[in-house]
Amino acid sequence: MLGYALLALTYSHGLSRSKITNLRILLFAVVMAGLYAVSDEWHQSFTPGRTPLISDVGIDTLGAALGAGTWVWIRSLREV
């Protein structure tokens, strides 16, 4: 969860210099990190001893939402 929070926070930071609204930054970061979580679980299906779980995708995406939300919150505080 922490890794995906940091991934989404990094995506958000990368987009922060653009003219994109905070909501779009949040959505883009969460979707991109969520897609990475799906690909990671798919990759686990080819690894012996590992089981892909949809619940892991949900947990990772929740972490991404927390990370991106934290970045948007910090960005909004700096704009005040």
Q: CA torsion, points 7, 9, 12, 14, in degrees to nearest 10?
A: -70
The count of domains in the chain is: 1
Side chain identity at residue 39, one-letter code: S
In this prediction, residues 7-16 reach a mean pLDDT of: 91
26-68, pLDDT tens digit by residue? 999 999 999 999 999 999 999 999 999 999 999 999 999 999 9
Domain enclosing residue 6, as ranges: 2-79
Residue 9 or residue 16, greater confidence: 9
CB 15 within 8 A of CB 29: yes
71 phi and psi, to 5 degrees? -65, -45
Model-wide pTM > 0.85: yes
